[in-house]
Every structure is written in structure tokens, then in C-alpha cells.
Amino acid sequence: MKLLTDRGYRAYPSDYLLVRLRGRMDQCLDHIRRITPDKAREHIDMEHRWVYLQMNDRLRENLWPYFFYREIRRVFEWLRFSDISSTSLELSLLSEEIKDIFSKIRDASLRIESLETTLRGFLKRFEGIKKSFEGGVRTFEETFVNQFLLIISRSIKYFALREFFRFMIDFRNLIGLYKHLRWRIETAPHFLSGGHIKISDLKKASLSGDPSLVQRLSAVNLNIPIDDLSELEIRLYRGLKEIMRRQCLKNPVEPFFIPYYLWSIYLEHLSKTL
């Protein structure tokens, strides 16, 4: 069983695909700016699918975690509905086996049980999502993402993409720290290991009562004070885009340009929705 689809697979040479994407980027960004957020989201789904189906085996081997990470949000959406639209199924990059879990099984707990069994075959130590569902959908979603990030950040071989996921861990931890300090939540946040920021530094900051420490711990310039959680997220993600851009400049045929390209168009859409 596979995690992502292989239907419509074309397998172009890496250099050829990278050149196409570099020439396509400005046009795609301009198109997203001119259409509605709903249309932009559909276009981005189509773009992710198109890019993935052009990739050869080596690119897929290196980059599949990025594409699966984006599909996680679709899993969360599908869990909320007993009937899944044909459009959503067609746009998804998830394998036919995983799609069948959601299109043929209606009970949410049985879906999660089947999903956990499937994922455990690919991601060692991926467990606990079924039990987490007992705490509600939000607890399940947080556990799912944390489990994936923790496993991938430790196991992925491709350095540039491993760094991407380590920064994602940092950002989740910083957002949790910001909520704790800004909203004065009594319960200390649970910090996920595997990022660049030491857990000890995060715990120390959580005891300080000073929200400005979010900026000091961040690898990107947030230009705080920030009074809005959404604004914090977008600034973190824009900072990550710049880190990705610098990585791509080191090598004109860097495969990491593919996640950078897709992250850039996603961020353009995210900016429209805030």
C-alpha cells in the first residue's frame, strides 16, 4: 500500500521540471492574486497534483513528505463528513487505498483505526492517533501533526526538507508559547522536540510572562509587537519562505525549489484569506 497516488505518473527529468516551474512561478502567483480565495485554493490543489505527477522516482523519494504533509489537512476535512465529494477525492494526492478508507467507511472511529494501521506501515512509531480521538477532533488533529513532524524530522534523509520540517516544529512551538504568554493560559504548553529551538529555552520562556521572547527565540524577524495570532503565523511562514529561497539560491538545479515554489503559492493564497 502507498501513501500517495501514482496515477497519471509522467516522470520527467528533474532539470526539465525545475526549469518549467521557474518559468511558471510568476504567472501562477499573479493568477492567484486575481481570483477569489475559494478559486485560489482549488487552483493550488490542482497545482500540487500537477507538480507531483510530473516528478520522477528520485524526486518523489526525496520530496514525498512535503506533499503528504499538505494532504493532512484534507484528512481532517474528510473526518468531519460521512460523504466525501468526488471533486475533493479527485484533487487529493492520497493513495486510492487511503481514499477508500474515507469513501467506503462512514464511522469516524473506524476510519481513524484503519488510517493508523495504514500509516504505521510506513511511518515507524506512528501511533496514538486513535486514542487521541477520544479527546475530540482538535486533540486528534494536534496529535496527528505532531506525530508526523516528530517522525519525519528524525528520519528524513534529504537535508533541505528535513530543515523545513524542523522549522515547522519551531513555529508550532512558538505559536503555542505565544498563546500561553499572550493569553495568560495557566496550563504550560506541550513543546514538540526535533526543532532548532531547545525545549529548555522554550520552557524557560513560558515561565517568564514576557511575549517578546517569542521574537528572541524565532529564527526569523517578526517585527513585533504582534497583537494577532494570524499575523504571527503569516510572519513566521513568510520568514520560512525566505529561508527556503536562500537554500534554493545555493544551487540552480536544487530539487528543494519544488517545495519552495509550492510554499510560495500557498502563502500567496493564505495572505488573501487573512
Query: What is the percent of the chain with per-residue pLDDT over 90, rounded to a whole number?
Result: 60
Is the pLDDT assigned to residue 266 strictly greater than 90?
Answer: yes
- Can you tell me the distance from the alpha carbon of 267 to that of 272, in angstroms, rounded to the nearest whole number? 9
Q: 255, 59 in Cβ contact below 8 A?
A: yes
Q: 63, 48 in Cβ contact below 8 A?
A: no
Mean pLDDT, residues 37-57 = 94
Q: 133, 145 in Cβ contact below 8 A?
A: no
Provide the pLDDT confidence category of residue 166 given band limits of 50, 70 and 90: very high
Amino acid at 12: Y
Residue 274 has what pLDDT? 66
What pTM was estimated for this model as a whole?
A: 0.93
Pick from 187, 190, 165, 191: nearest CA to 243: 165
CA angle centred on 181, ends 177 and 182, rounded to 5°: 110
Q: 140, 129 in Cβ contact below 8 A?
A: yes
- Can you tell me the distance from the alpha carbon of 57 to that of 11, in angstroms, rounded to the nearest whole number? 7
